[in-house]
Amino acid sequence: MTRLLVLGADEAFIARMSVLPGTQLVAIGTERTDWSAFDVVRILDPQSLPDLILLGARVPLTNALGIAAAAHLQYPLIDLVLVGEHSADTAVEAMRAGVRDMVSASSSEACFVEMMRRAEMHGPASATVASPAAASVPSEASRTIVVVSPKGGVGKTSIATNVAIGMAETMPHDVVLVDLDLQFGDVAATLDLAPARTMEDAFGPDAAADNLVLKTMLTAHSSGFFVLCGADSPAANENVTGPQIHRLLEQLSTQFSCVLVDTAAGLGEPTLAALEVADEIVLVSTMDVASVRSVRREVDLLTQLGLMPVERSFVLNLADRQSGMKVKDVEAVVGIPVDVVIPRSSAVQLAANHGQPLMLHKKRGEPFVKAIRALLARLERTAPAADNKHRRLEVA
């Protein structure tokens, strides 16, 4: 079996390639216009590399050569083939970038079969055992952090998206944010992303069987992390099961150092499935009696179910002095200490409505940004080591 990755080709060409005997094909970016060599190399799973990358006619030449050079440098065993009619000068430039061959989109089937045969002979799949779930990030090195709350509208998505932006500063291209609010997820809108693929595709059999395919379902955010966006239709994932979610998150944790999960309010099956694989929970509440009491019940239930991760951050969001409750009242009701207090700030909603979360602009002194930094310090374990006493990172 020859593993073939086709970048930026039209549907007709992809259809021709997919019927070549003994070929396992993944195609990316038929409609894509922004081609970053870094992003392409990043989606390659070192444990199940393609034998051949076809640089299709829709990838602008400069980008194609950039991708070829980057891929060749990192994975010299992969055959790189440029599709299209090119001049002799371009051919020389392409060969210098590591391109092995050039073919025309209208070449004969025999030509493509020969190209595949050569790629298989010395491609990485022949050198390594291709294993879909093989880890490129050792599982103990990856952390899955799940953001939950019993009530809706308390700021889970705001926190998850801003934390992802902050984490990308220290772990560029190594963080994935998963929108597990399967019915009404709004991570894509909050980040102003227009995903070509969504969660719906990620639960398909192809993605479940192959990390490379799964990575093609992710959308890159300009600040340097990846997002698995929610499906357009609330009904799209209604039959998704806990084990499927389990599998998806475990697969992602083999590919990224941090898997950050935004969830729907309450303890639905997706959230429980995520908590089964979570290393850390971020519990979010607002400062009103109903929300605080629900958190208490949620903590009790999760503890009974054995689903309360050891690492825990309790976050009070939308904090203001008018709420009538004090932080110590909240702690008394819930029975656990509050770790971070995030103040109410009118700039948060404004920024989210423009698809530009506040962390993007990193305004120093903005209380919300300071609070997210405090949470990041906890999550990244860079907070000053506490002695035995619990210390709240209070920023309100």
Ligand X SMILES: Nc1ncnc2c1ncn2[C@@H]1O[C@H](COP(=O)(O)OP(=O)(O)OP(=O)(O)O)[C@@H](O)[C@H]1O
Judged by CB under 6 A, which of 2, 23, 157, 253 binds ligand X? 157
Dmax of the chain from CA atoms? 77
181 binds ligand X (CB under 6 A): yes
Residue 265 binds which of Mg ion, ligand X, none (CB < 5-8 A, kind-dependent): ligand X
- Closest approach of ligand X to the CB of residue 320, in Å: 9
Structure tokens at 310: 């050891």
> Residue 32's closest CA among 219, 202, 198?
219
Which string of DSSP letters, residue by residue, matches 33-46?
----HHHHHHH--T
- Closest approach of ligand X to the CB of residue 247, in Å: 24
Judged by CB under 6 A, which of 156, 221, 373, 378 binds ligand X? 156
Task: Please give the helix or strand (H or E) that residue 376 lies within, else none.
Answer: helix 367-379
Residue 154 binds which of Mg ion, ligand X, none (CB < 5-8 A, kind-dependent): ligand X
Judged by CB under 6 A, which of 13, 35, 112, 368 binds ligand X? 368
- Closest approach of ligand X to the CB of residue 155, in Å: 4
> Residue 263's closest CA among 248, 279, 281, 236?
281
Q: Which is nearer to ligand X, 217 or 369 (CB)?
A: 369
Q: How far apart are CA 386 and CA 392, in angstroms?
A: 10
The CA radius of gyration of the chain, in Å to the nearest whole number, is 23
> Which region, judged by CB under 5 A, interacts with Mg ion, from 31-39, 112-120, 149-157, 292-300?
149-157
Class of residue 310 by CB neighbours under 10 A (exposed 0-12, middle 13-18, buried 19+): exposed
Q: Which is nearer to ligand X, 117 or 354 (CB)?
A: 354
> Which region, judged by CB under 6 A, interacts with ligand X, from 4-12, 122-130, 155-163, 169-177?
155-163
Judged by CB under 6 A, which of 47, 158, 198, 271 binds ligand X? 158
Expressed in angstroms, the distance from the first to the final Cα of the chain is 59
> Which region, judged by CB under 6 A, interacts with ligand X, from 1-9, 26-34, 154-162, 386-394?
154-162
149 binds ligand X (CB under 6 A): yes
Q: Which is nearer to ligand X, 97 or 146 (CB)?
A: 146
373 binds ligand X (CB under 6 A): no
Which residues neighbour 158 within 8 Å (Cβ) at sequence distance 6 or greater?
190, 317, 348, 352, 357
161 binds Mg ion (CB under 5 A): no
Contact (CB, 8 A) for 273 and 171: no
Q: How far apart are CA 57 and CA 64, in angstroms?
A: 9
Judged by CB under 6 A, which of 83, 177, 348, 359 binds ligand X? 348
Count of other CB atoms within 10 angstroms of residue 104: 12
157 binds Mg ion (CB under 5 A): yes
Show the binding pattern over residues 313-342: x = contacts ligand X (CB under 6 A), - = does not: ----xx-----------------------x
Structure tokens at 182: 């399967």
Q: Which is nearer to ligand X, 45 or 262 (CB)?
A: 262
Beta strands in 244-344 (DSSP E): 258-263, 280-285, 311-319, 340-343
Q: How far apart are CA 13 and CA 323, in angstroms?
A: 61
List interacting residues with ligand X (CB under 6 A): 149, 152-158, 181, 265, 317-318, 342, 344-345, 348-349, 352, 368
List interacting residues with Mg ion (CB under 5 A): 156-157
